[in-house]
Amino acid sequence: MPELPEVESLTHFLRERAVGRTVLGVDVVAIQALKTFDPPVTALGGLTITGVARHGKFLDLDCDGLHLVIHLARAGWLRWRDDLSGAKPVRPGKGPLAVRVRLAPDEEGLAPGFELTEAGTQKRLAVYVTKNPDDVPGIAALGPDPLDESFTVDALKRIVGGNRIQIKGLLRDQKIIAGIGNAYSDEVLHAARMSPFKIAATLTDAQIADLHEAIITTLAEAVERAHGLAAKDLKAEKKSGLRVHNRTGQPCDVCGDTIREVSFADSSLQYCPTCQTGGKPLADRRLSRLLK
């Protein structure tokens, strides 16, 4: 669920709260979340957080050169805690808590920290302890970041050119463009007035320029809205800022048509027929395949 704008905001949030603080310890409650064993997670104890960065949807805490890299996946979240000194030790197996990072107490005696939680039964949240974030496979494979200056119209043209996949899939593919997931790809395509099923390689130069504009504005606006919000308020903010995603059956803000839903890959997507597909609802390809 957290995509580029939310992870960007969490990065700022942690930069303000956590940089300069010493790590007391990292408790891994959900063992399967820890994807590395060397260096061990205990090596982070005693180190100082010197920086926080984002790579696509990955959070990267630099602790004196050793990195704690976090991927929140679909149902993960980060919860800041002002004081963990009274928190009970956690036993593996129950509840959404996956990882707890305890920081050294400040002058007031409060020992803050943060917790990574994951809802649901599919556990995909991942943490890595590494000397080099590029050693994390998901980071090494990332495409360009759309908020980076190098992500120009020409750069997008090179990405799109000759690519025979549907534009919805292209936008969501972290190896092609970093940071956009199911929600913001719906939003970008609505802003660009483009069918999610359009084949990337068929876009004209004008459409590529429109798509580029839509990517930049949609993400920048979402980052702007999320900026300065506490970690716990980000989810609600993301939801309220969306124009088509997860709004099936509601009227489109732009034209008043009813927002529709169609299955796509492992989930579903939402779009506005009038704004994006010439008024025609998209056929559910999975369903029609079954009926043949």
SS3 state at 249: coil
103 belongs to the binding site for Zn ion (CB under 5 A) = no
230 belongs to the binding site for Zn ion (CB under 5 A) = no
Q: Which lies closer to Zn ion via its Cβ, residue 178 or residue 275?
A: 275
242 belongs to the binding site for Zn ion (CB under 5 A) = no
Q: Which lies closer to Zn ion via its Cβ, residue 55 or residue 243?
A: 243
Q: Which lies closer to Zn ion via its Cβ, residue 117 or residue 277?
A: 277
Q: Report, in Å, the least distance between residue 285 CB and Zn ion.
A: 22
CA angle 150, 151, 153 (to 5 degrees): 115
189 belongs to the binding site for Zn ion (CB under 5 A) = no
- Please state the length of the chain: 292
Nearest CA to 126 out of 16, 33, 55 is that of 33
- Rounded to a whole number of angstroms, the distance between the first and last alpha carbons of the chain is 34
In the bound state, the residue with its beta carbon closest to Zn ion is 252
Q: Which lies closer to Zn ion via its Cβ, residue 268 or residue 274?
A: 274
Helix pair 4-18, 234-241: axis angle to 10 deg:
150
Q: How far apart are CA 219 and CA 223, in angstroms?
A: 6
Nearest CA to 194 out of 224, 220, 156, 226 is that of 156
Among 254, 258, 268, 284, binds Zn ion (CB under 5 A): 254
Q: How far apart are CA 84 and CA 88, in angstroms?
A: 9
Q: Which lies closer to Zn ion via its Cβ, residue 83 or residue 257?
A: 257
Among 1, 252, 269, 282, binds Zn ion (CB under 5 A): 252
Contacting positions for Zn ion (CB under 5 A): 252, 254-255, 257, 272, 274-275
